[in-house]
């Protein structure tokens, strides 16, 4: 299920503007990798290149390569739609489809991918995905109610259920807890620990305690100044990044001196 990601010399552009420069890193399967850094350093932009969501914005493009188990996601033969089916994504704000019920939300991706699914298979998948997202017990009696009627934390877990229902290899999370209260945040963090048994997880977070709590490895991004591209400063085991970083900027950031 889980796959490894190799990024080599990746430059990311919005039109002519270079937003992120020269990122190379390896993301291990069945682990949680956290991206931290000040606002505007390009960590979310970089995350979105891992499932080719970056290019949804007009003019956005990349140079370099992102390999998933040796296959370049930016190769000429590769369909971005297929990439996004393999690399799932959870967004900053919970975004269940408002016109769909809880059940329909979970099945949304599956219905896109292989149209026909029998009623019993669908029921199984809904239950399995919602259990996988620790949401089943809270919603099992109201699967036909709109997903937008849930609390923020429940909605975010519904989005996670929707993402894992299509059985991706990798799960990208773009500040998944930034719109949530502490209790819901804790629920999501517990869930991430569960999910890493099966998936490669990459999480962007503004919250350094969160990075320290949930991740195995941490990458620190920084930006030299406004208008300059963001760069990967340092990547290492999370414990090392937070206790003995090798770069001065990382130490300043994790100790709260800026950002």
Partner 1 sequence: MTTASPPAHATRHEPRRRRASGDTERGFSRVFRWITTGAGVLLLGVLAAVAAFLVARALPAFTASQAELLADGKLPAGVTSIAQYVGPLVFGTLLAAAMALAIATPIAMGIALFISHYAPRRIASGIGYVVDLLAAIPSVVFGLWGGRVLAPLIADFWVWLVGVLNVLPFVEFRATATGRSLATASIVLAVMILPIITAVSREVFLQTPKLHEEAALALGATRWEMIRTAVLPFGRSGVISAAMLGLGRALGETMAVLMILSTGLGYSLQIFGAGELTTIAANIASRFPEASGLAVNVLIATGLALFIITLAVNMAARAIVARRKDFSGAN
- Binding stretches for partner 1 (CB under 8 A): 51, 53, 56, 81-82, 84-85, 88-89, 91, 93, 95-101, 108-109, 112-113, 145-146, 148-149, 159, 162-163, 166
CB closer to partner 1 out of 142 and 228? 142
State CA 76 to chain mean position distance. 24
Report, in Å, the least distance between residue 161 CB and partner 1: 12
The DSSP output letter for 116 is -
As measured in angstroms, the least distance from the Cβ of 104 to partner 1 is 10
Determine the Cα–Cα distance for residues 6 and 105; give it in Å rounded to an integer: 31
Q: How far is the CB of 83 from partner 1 (least distance, A)?
A: 8
Nearer to partner 1, 171 or 233 (CB): 171
Q: Residue 142 or 248: which CB sits closer to partner 1?
A: 142
Rounded to a whole number of angstroms, the minimum distance from the CB of residue 165 to partner 1 is: 9
When the beta carbons of 30 and 93 are compared against partner 1, the nearer one is: 93
Residues whose CB is less than 8 angstroms from the CB of residue 97 and which lie 6 or more positions away in sequence, other chains included: 104, 105, 108, 147
> What contacts 214, CB < 8 A, 6 or more positions away?
32, 34, 189, 192, 193, 203
Structure token digits, residue 215:
């991740």
Helix extents (H) in 133-226: 136-139, 152-165, 182-195, 208-214
Residue 162: CB minimum distance to partner 1, A: 7
Nearer to partner 1, 16 or 227 (CB): 16
């Amino acid at each position: 299920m889980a796959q490894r990601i190799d990024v080599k010399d990746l430059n990311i552009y919005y039109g002519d503007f270079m937003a992120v420069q020269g990122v190379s890193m390896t993301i291990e399967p069945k682990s949680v990798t956290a991206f931290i850094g000040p606002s505007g350093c390009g960590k979310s932009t970089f995350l979105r290149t891992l499932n080719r969501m970056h290019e949804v914005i007009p003019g956005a493009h990349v140079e370099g390569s992102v390999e998933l188990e040796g296959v370049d996601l930016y190769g000429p033969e590769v369909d971005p739609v297929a990439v996004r089916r393999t690399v799932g994504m959870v967004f900053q704000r919970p975004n269940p489809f408002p016109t769909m019920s809880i059940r329909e939300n979970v099945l949304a991706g599956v219905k896109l991918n292989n149209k026909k699914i029998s009623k019993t298979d669908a029921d199984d998948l809904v239950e399995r995905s919602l259990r996988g997202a620790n949401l089943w017990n809270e919603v099992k009696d109201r699967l036909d109610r709109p997903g937008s009627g849930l609390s923020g934390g429940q909605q975010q877990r519904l989005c996670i259920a929707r993402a894992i229902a299509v059985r991706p290899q990798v799960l990208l999370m773009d500040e998944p807890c930034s719109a949530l209260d502490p209790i819901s945040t804790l629920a999501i963090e517990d869930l991430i620990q569960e999910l890493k048994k099966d998936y490669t997880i990459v999480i962007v977070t503004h919250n350094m305690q969160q990075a320290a709590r949930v991740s195995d490895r941490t990458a620190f991004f920084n930006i030299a100044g406004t208008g300059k591209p963001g760069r990967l400063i340092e990547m290492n085991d999370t414990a090392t990044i937070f206790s003995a970083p090798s770069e001065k900027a990382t130490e300043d950031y994790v100790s709260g001196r800026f950002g």
